[in-house]
Amino acid sequence: MKLTATLLALAAGLQVTSAFPHFATEENYQKLAARGMVKQRAPSNNPARKLEVRDLIGGLLQPLTGVLAAIDLPTPQNQVLELVPDAAHPYKAPGPTDIRGLCPTMNTMANHGYISRNGITTFAEAANGCQQAYGFGYDLCTFLSALGLLAGGDLVTGKMSISGPDARVPNTLGPAKGLDNHGPFEIDGSMSRNDTYFGDNHSFLMERWNTIRDFAKKYDNGNFGNAMWKKERKATYDKAVATNPEFYAGAKYIAVSIAERAFIPRALPTFKGGPSPGIPDAFNVEPFFLNETFPANWFKRGDPYGLVGLAGDVVDYVTDLDTFTKPGQNQGIGNFVPFSLDLPTEPYAAGCFLFTTLADVGAGGLEGEAVHAIGQVVEQIMAPLFKGAFNCDFSGTNTPSSGSGSGVNGG
């Protein structure tokens, strides 16, 4: 699979979806320059250059440089079968200035202090908490956290809100909109949250949960395995096609709508009985959604679930013809316009599909350091993880130039 159109467009600033819809301001640029983090450049004249993908060292990212130099890196966490939460992470209900968002497991991490209880986290903290609390691998947790950062964080400090924009997150390169930001990561057709078109895309909806429970009863003996999630995903898609005039089901929809559902059987059953605990039941799953806490006596998995596992799950969903969701978009109700996508049917292609699709957060309307920083997150953080796991072909992938005295120091 060639990594061409989307990332080339990102490099050229041609995408319509934007993580930071405003240009980097002169004021922000001067702030960076004062810190010695940028030098003079002429953004619009930047030639694209090939992605220079570094290798992982011992499976880990190398220190970040240039505009990303101030961001802390995640570290590998102890991955063993263990009781979660431990004594150091008791549940505390969110206080008046603590914020919660659209990811039930991020909210649970915040309620237990695996990430900051106020809901303002960082790239490293979220990736570390994800490993500690759920037993997902360093590669997948780092990738998810990088995606969150690209979608709605501040690329210079690495801070992000797990909800909407927040004054506690700086807007160094442009507005940091938080994980709620629709498009780069947040999608239509989620599980327990509404589509952005209807207004609130981040609050838990009990009626959705009741539907999910009905699917569990009908298709999975009351359990929450992939059999019922595939049916629920297709039904949610059908409903969105019928009711959301702006429903968008492109590559990102496919990647995220599958990943979030496949995560349930991968992360939420209690693993007390060993690495294969079976299908999660209501006792395992409901506390995460209804109370944003862990079930009593819950053991996280000891064998990390990583990017390779996720790629396999994507293939499992995409190749299930009964629940296949045709890529396309609504241009008004009753006018679903399909488009063709090269969907992966084996895990290697699925891994590279995830990279191509999710690393493309778009850069429409952006110039200068914001575009450059997005390219650097893709180059320095995301691509090495996929090079390590899948050895994707990056030969057709470009990023904005940092050469010829026009870029970021060390970038």
- Which residues are at the interface with ligand HEM (CB under 6 A)? 102-106, 126-127, 130, 134, 136, 141, 144-145, 148, 179, 185-187, 190-193, 256, 260, 263-264, 267-268
The packing angle between helices 368-376 and 26-34, to 10°, is 60
Residue closer to ligand HEM by CB (options 23, 224) is 224
Residue closer to ligand HEM by CB (options 142, 380) is 142
Tell me the closest approach of the beta carbon of residue 307 to ligand HEM, in angstroms: 13
Which DSSP category does 159 fall into? E
What are the two backbone dihedrals, phi and then psi, of residue 188, each rounded to the nearest 5 degrees? Answer: -80, 160
Tell me the closest approach of the beta carbon of residue 367 to ligand HEM, in angstroms: 26
Q: Which is it for strands 48-50 and 398-400: parallel, antiparallel or unpaired?
A: antiparallel
Spatial contact of 11 and 398, defined as CB atoms under 8 Å apart: yes
CA atoms of 176 and 87, how far apart (whole Å): 34
Tell me the closest approach of the beta carbon of residue 104 to ligand HEM, in angstroms: 6
Residue closer to ligand HEM by CB (options 46, 292) is 292
Residue closer to ligand HEM by CB (options 141, 359) is 141
Residue closer to ligand HEM by CB (options 305, 394) is 305
Upper half-sphere CA count for residue 62 (Cβ side, 13 Å):
12
Return the number of other C-beta atoms located less than 10 Å from residue 198's C-beta: 11
Residue closer to ligand HEM by CB (options 11, 130) is 130
Tell me the closest approach of the beta carbon of residue 151 to ligand HEM, in angstroms: 6
Q: Which amino acid is at 194?
A: N
Residue closer to ligand HEM by CB (options 127, 240) is 127
**Cis omega (within 30 of 0) on the bond before 85?**
yes
Tell me the closest approach of the beta carbon of residue 265 to ligand HEM, in angstroms: 9
Tell me the closest approach of the beta carbon of residue 185 to ligand HEM, in angstroms: 4
Tell me the closest approach of the beta carbon of residue 294 to ligand HEM, in angstroms: 12
Q: Which amino acid is at 30?
A: Q
Structure tokens at 229: 């999630």
Does residue 38 sit in helix, strand or coil? strand
Residue closer to ligand HEM by CB (options 23, 143) is 143
What are the two backbone dihedrals, phi and then psi, of residue 48, each rounded to the nearest 5 degrees? Answer: -70, 150
Spatial contact of 233 and 323, defined as CB atoms under 8 Å apart: yes
CA atoms of 284 and 93, how far apart (whole Å): 20
Burial 245-266 (b: 16+ CB within 10 A, else e): eebbbbbbbbbbbbbbbbbbbb
Tell me the closest approach of the beta carbon of residue 109 to ligand HEM, in angstroms: 8
Q: Is 374 exposed, middle or buried (0-12, 13-18, 19+ CB in 10 A)?
A: buried
Residue closer to ligand HEM by CB (options 226, 401) is 226
Residue closer to ligand HEM by CB (options 191, 392) is 191
Tell me the closest approach of the beta carbon of residue 160 to ligand HEM, in angstroms: 8
Tell me the closest approach of the beta carbon of residue 134 to ligand HEM, in angstroms: 4
Structure tokens at 281: 């039941």
Structure tokens at 393: 């072909």
